[in-house]
Amino acid sequence: MNIYLIVLLLLLSPSALAQDFRTPFKDCNLTGSITIYDYRHKKWIISDQTDDRRPTLPASTFKIINLLIALETGVITDEHTLVKWPGSTDTTLYGYRPDIYKDLSVKEAFEVSAGWAFIELAKKIGREKYKHYLTLAKYGNGNLAENGEDFWNFGPFGISPHNQVLFLIEVFEGKTPFSKRNVEILKKVMINPQMGTYTLRAKTGWTRVDGLDLGWWVGYIEQGKNTFFFATRVTKPRSVLNPDFGTCRKRITKAVLQQLGIL
């Protein structure tokens, strides 16, 4: 059984130590964990040590490294490269988010999380190049046995919250196997709406596996002289209706960051 354990390593005050990071998950009727790294103080804050190291499908958070690989391999020139929609132009055929089924720039596809666009890029990248760059970047468990193009949504490929954060730190530090130019493009694309004095770069993810809904929100917040990296992952049985599942990924993260005085 998972035991929620807050690792604060001298970072927090005694009052902060009393905070219970389980409450935001309970309020959303979800299970999961949040992993945070305080860059300036080199401190980890982990709500569940076991879940922190457990790999699962990255879902659309994979678009972060997918964008870098597409750039590095020359499949796309920059974030403005247009991805042609391969299907019908009759949007009435698509009941789910019909507005995304059209030609989109890579930047637009990232922002609206148009999975089809990144599947089109994956067809051009090829599995061998994925293996090459994922190994160099130390991203995920390396298992690309899934036959479908979107191995980040289905199959045995997986990444842990801890690994997600470590990769984001390397993006921030410019230590990935990708060019400085391509990393700077990614950083621009990842920017979420400005929040006061904070700059937030992040990506959501949502897939379904083994009868569960699996949701992510990963990214980092630049606040003055410090940067905080985070990876939040939540799950629920698909049989349990929860219309707030999508919004709760962000709600839980922001609640914990507020408890810590980061937001």
pLDDT at 90 (0 to 100): 64
Q: Decide: residue 13, CB within 10 A, 0-12 exposed, 13-18 middle, 19+ buried.
A: exposed
Q: Give the pLDDT means over successive 10-residue stretches in the chain (263 positions).
A: 39 45 94 97 96 97 98 98 86 70 96 96 97 98 96 97 98 98 98 83 96 97 94 96 95 94 86
pLDDT at 26 (0 to 100): 95
Specify the CATH number for 14-259; select among 3.40.710.10, 3.40.47.10, 3.10.620.30, 3.40.50.300.
3.40.710.10
pLDDT at 102 (0 to 100): 93
Per-domain residue ranges of the chain: 14-259
Among residues 60, 88, 105, 113, which one is catalytic? 60
pLDDT at 98 (0 to 100): 79
The per-residue b/e assignment along 142-165, b for 16 or more CB within 10 angstroms, e otherwise, is: eebebeebbbbbbbebbbbbbbbb
Q: Residue 71 in contact with residue 80, Cβ under 8 Å? A: no
> Can 113 be counted among the known catalytic residues?
no
pLDDT at 13 (0 to 100): 38
